[in-house]
C-alpha cells in the first residue's frame, strides 16, 4: 500500500490554460487567440515527445509561456512519519500498451520511498489474460504492466500474487520481489507457523532456481478483469510462447470493479420460436448485458450453413451506451477423434478473397511472414483470408507502435528491435496487397475450421491440403478431453457400491 496520499489528477493543475479543467474568465479577443487547449493525448505523450518538447524550453524562454516539465513534483504527506515528502508524477504512454501514470514518493525525513503505476484509461470492455512461457534468460527482461486489479501466478510454483499495488517492471523484478518478501518474513514464520515454514522455504528455493536459470521452462500469467495489464510480446515468439486471451467478466468481477448492476437487464429469449428451434439464415435478437458497462444491449445471432462443411452460429453484440462491439463464431457438432491441419497456398488476389472460418480453438501460422497466432487469441472469425490478416496486422500494430502520431513507434523500443518490427509489418502489408505468395496453416484440434475451395467437391483443390493428426496430451488437457469419460461412466460408482457391500 502506498505510504502517501495524492491523486494523479493534481498534476493536471500545472496546465492552467486548459479550458476543460478551469472555468474561463472574461477575456479580450487578443487574449482568446492565445488560449491553449490540452487534450488527453498531449498529457500522455511518449517519453521521446516529452524530451523533444522540453528541449526548446531548455535553450530559452518557452514560446507559449508555460513551464514544460518532464516530471511533475507535488508536496504530499508521508504516512510513515507525518512530515511532508515529494511525490513525482510522470504521465506517459507505454509502448505496446496505453496511457499510464507512474508515481514515485520519497520522504527526506524518514527516507521512506515507494513507487507504483496506475492505469490512466478507463476499464476495458473485457478482461485480459496474458501468459508467458519462459525458456531462456532473455525472457526475464520482458516488460510487465500489473495494474492494481490484476492477479499474477507462477504456475509451476503454484504461487499467486493477489491484486494490489500497480507495478511497471519485468519478469525478473516481479519474481525477485516476491522471493525477497517471502524471505523477509521467514524468521517470524518459523516461530509463529512452524508447519508453514518448510513449505515456504521450498518455494523460495524453487524461485531462486528459476531466477538463476536452472528451472526452464516455466510459465506465469497476469489476469486482469479490468483489462489494463500487459506482458510484452516478442517478434521471435512461437506458438505456445506468448498468449493473450480476452474474456467476458463475471457478475462478481464487475461488482468488484464497481460497474453497474445488471439486475435490471431483460435476459429473456424472445427471438426463439415457441418450441425453441432455430431457423437457418434467420437473424435473432436477444436482450443481454454489455460486458463493458453492464448496461442493457442486444446480441444478434444467425445460424449459417457453410457448403461442404457444417452449421455455424454467427454472434454479434453492440452496446449503444459505451460503444462496445464484439463478434464471434461458434461451431457445433460432436468432437472429432482427430484434429485437422489445413494448409492454403496463397498466390494472388483470388486466394485472398477465399472465405475462411477460424474457430476459437484454431492456431494460425504463416511461415513466410514469420507470423504465428496462438489458439484463442483472435476468438472465432468468419471472414476472408485478406480480412483475417488485416485484423491480425491492425491488432499487432496498435500494440507495438502506439504513439501520439501516425507511424510513430514507442520510444523505448531498441533500434534493432524497431527495425525488425518494421520489416515484419512491411512483409505483412505486401501479403495483404497480394504482392507476395505465402502459406496459411490452420491447426485446429477440434477440426472446426474451414477454407473455401474454388473447385466443386469431391474434386480436391490443388492449393488446399488437409491433414488429420492425433491431438497431443497438452491439447487434450487444455480442451478438457483428457479425463472426459463418455461411455461406462457409471461403472466406477457401481464398483464402489459393490466394494462397500463386500466390506459390510
206 and 164 share a domain? yes
CA angle 173, 174, 180 (to 5 degrees): 80
Residue 49 domain flag = yes
Cα-Cα end-to-end distance for the chain: 59
pLDDT (0 to 100) of residue 106: 93
Residue 234 domain flag = yes
DSSP state, residue 29: H
Q: What CATH number corresponds to the domain at position 74?
A: 2.20.25.420
In this predicted structure, the answer to whether residue 414 has a pLDDT above a threshold of 80 is no
Q: What CATH number corresponds to the domain at position 145?
A: 2.60.120.1040
Q: Which domain holds residue 251?
A: 127-256
407 and 368 share a domain? yes
Query: Residue 233: how many CA atoms within 13 Å on its side-chain side?
Result: 27
Mapped onto helix, strand or coil, the DSSP state of residue 159 is strand
Q: Mean pLDDT score of the chain, rounded to an integer?
A: 78
248 and 274 share a domain? no
Residue 19 domain flag = yes
Distance CA 480, CA 349 (A): 39
In this predicted structure, the answer to whether residue 126 has a pLDDT above a threshold of 50 is yes
Residue 367 domain flag = yes
Over residues 175-195, the mean pLDDT reads 91
pLDDT single digits (tens) 67-103: 556 788 999 999 999 999 999 988 887 665 567 788 8
459 and 385 share a domain? yes
Over residues 174-192, the mean pLDDT reads 91
- The total number of structural domains in the chain stands at 4
Distance CA 52, CA 40 (A): 18
Residue 488 domain flag = no
Q: In what order do the strands lie in the sheet with 72-77?
A: 72-77, 84-93, 99-106, 113-119
User: Which residue among 333, 361, 393 closes a domain?
Assistant: 333
Residue 45 domain flag = yes
184 and 101 share a domain? no
Distance CA 470, CA 69 (A): 60
134 and 215 share a domain? yes
pLDDT (0 to 100) of residue 54: 62
Residue 503 domain flag = no
In this predicted structure, the answer to whether residue 20 has a pLDDT above a threshold of 50 is no
Distance CA 9, CA 89 (A): 10
User: Which residue among 67, 91, 119 closes a domain?
Assistant: 119
User: Which residue among 256, 285, 314 closes a domain?
Assistant: 256
User: With bands split at pLDDT 50, 70 and 90, how would you rate the model's confidence at 116?
Assistant: confident
Residue 3 domain flag = no
Closest Cα to residue 39, out of 20, 54, 57? 20
Closest Cα to residue 356, out of 329, 325, 388, 379? 388
Distance CA 201, CA 401 (A): 43
**What b/e string do you get for 178-215 counting C-beta neighbours within 10 Å, with b at 16 or more?**
bbeebeeeeeebeeeeeeebeebeebbebbeebeeeee
Q: Please state whether 268 falls in left (phi above 0), alpha (psi between -120 and 50) or beta.
A: beta
148 and 252 share a domain? yes
pLDDT single digits (tens) 220-278: 999 999 988 999 988 888 888 999 998 888 888 888 887 755 444 444 444 455 566 67
pLDDT (0 to 100) of residue 50: 61
DSSP state, residue 279: -
329 and 217 share a domain? no
Distance CA 484, CA 79 (A): 55
pLDDT single digits (tens) 349-363: 999 999 998 888 889
422 and 319 share a domain? no
Amino acid at each position: 500500500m502506498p505510504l502517501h496520499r495524492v491523486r494523479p489528477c493534481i498534476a493536471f493543475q500545472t496546465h492552467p490554460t486548459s479550458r476543460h479543467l478551469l472555468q474561463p474568465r472574461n477575456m479580450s479577443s487578443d487574449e482568446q487567440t492565445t488560449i491553449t487547449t490540452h487534450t488527453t493525448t498531449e498529457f500522455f505523450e511518449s517519453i521521446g515527445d516529452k524530451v523533444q518538447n522540453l528541449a526548446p524550453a531548455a535553450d530559452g524562454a518557452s514560446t507559449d509561456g508555460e513551464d514544460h516539465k518532464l516530471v511533475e513534483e507535488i508536496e504530499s504527506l508521508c504516512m510513515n512519519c507525518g512530515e511532508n515528502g515529494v511525490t513525482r508524477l510522470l504521465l506517459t504512454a507505454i509502448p505496446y500498451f496505453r496511457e499510464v501514470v507512474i508515481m514515485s514518493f520519497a520522504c527526506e525525513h524518514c527516507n521512506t520511498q515507494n513507487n507504483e503505476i496506475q492505469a490512466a484509461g478507463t476499464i476495458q470492455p473485457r478482461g485480459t489474460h496474458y501468459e508467458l512461457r519462459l525458456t531462456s534468460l532473455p525472457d526475464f527482461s520482458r516488460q510487465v504492466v500489473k495494474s492494481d486489479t490484476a492477479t499474477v501466478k507462477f504456475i509451476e510454483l503454484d504461487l499467486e500474487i493477489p491484486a494490489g499495488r500497480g507495478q511497471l517492471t519485468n519478469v525478473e523484478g516481479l519474481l525477485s520481489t516476491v522471493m525477497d518478501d517471502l524471505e523477509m518474513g521467514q524468521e517470524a514464520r518459523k516461530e509463529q507457523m512452524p508447519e508453514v515454514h518448510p513449505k515456504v522455504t521450498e518455494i523460495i528455493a524453487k524461485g531462486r532456481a528459476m531466477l538463476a536459470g536452472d528451472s526452464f521452462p516455466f510459465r506465469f500469467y497476469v489476469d486482469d478483469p479490468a483489462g489494463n495489464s500487459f506482458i510484452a510480446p516478442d517478434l521471435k515468439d512461437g506458438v505456445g510462447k506468448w498468449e493473450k486471451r480476452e474474456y467476458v467478466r463475471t457478475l462478481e468481477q464487475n461488482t468488484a470493479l464497481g460497474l453497474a448492476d445488471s439486475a435490471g437487464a431483460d435476459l429473456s429469449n424472445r427471438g426463439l420460436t415457441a418450441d425453441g428451434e432455430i431457423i437457418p439464415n434467420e437473424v435473432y435478437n436477444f436482450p443481454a448485458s454489455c460486458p463493458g458497462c453492464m448496461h442493457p444491449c442486444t446480441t444478434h445471432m444467425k445460424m449459417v450453413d457453410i457448403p461442404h462443411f457444417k452449421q455455424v452460429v454467427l454472434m454479434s453484440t453492440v452496446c449503444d451506451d459505451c460503444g462496445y462491439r464484439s463478434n464471434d463464431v461458434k461451431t457445433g457438432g460432436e468432437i472429432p477423434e482427430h484434429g485437422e491441419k489445413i494448409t492454403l497456398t496463397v498466390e494472388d488476389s483470388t486466394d485472398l478473397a477465399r472465405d475462411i472460418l477460424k474457430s476459437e480453438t484454431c492456431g494460425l501460422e504463416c511461415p513466410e511472414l514469420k507470423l504465428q497466432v496462438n489458439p484463442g487469441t483472435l476468438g472465432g472469425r468468419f471472414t476472408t483470408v485478406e480480412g483475417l490478416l488485416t485484423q491480425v496486422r491492425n491488432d499487432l500494430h496498435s500494440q507495438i507502435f502506439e504513439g501520439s502520431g501516425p507511424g510513430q513507434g514507442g520510444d523505448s523500443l531498441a533500434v534493432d528491435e524497431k527495425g525488425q518490427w518494421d520489416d515484419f509489418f512491411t512483409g505483412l502489408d505486401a501479403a495483404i496487397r497480394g504482392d507476395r505468395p505465402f502459406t496459411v496453416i490452420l491447426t485446429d484440434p477440434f477440426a472446426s475450421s474451414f477454407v473455401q475451395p474454388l473447385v466443386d467437391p469431391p474434386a480436391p483443390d490443388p492449393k488446399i491440403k488437409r491433414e488429420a493428426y492425433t491431438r497431443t496430451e497438452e491439447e487434450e488437457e487444455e480442451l478438457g478431453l483428457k479425463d472426459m469419460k463418455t461411455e461406462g461412466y457409471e461403472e466406477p460408482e457401481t464398483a464402489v457400491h459393490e466394494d462397500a457391500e463386500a466390506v459390510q
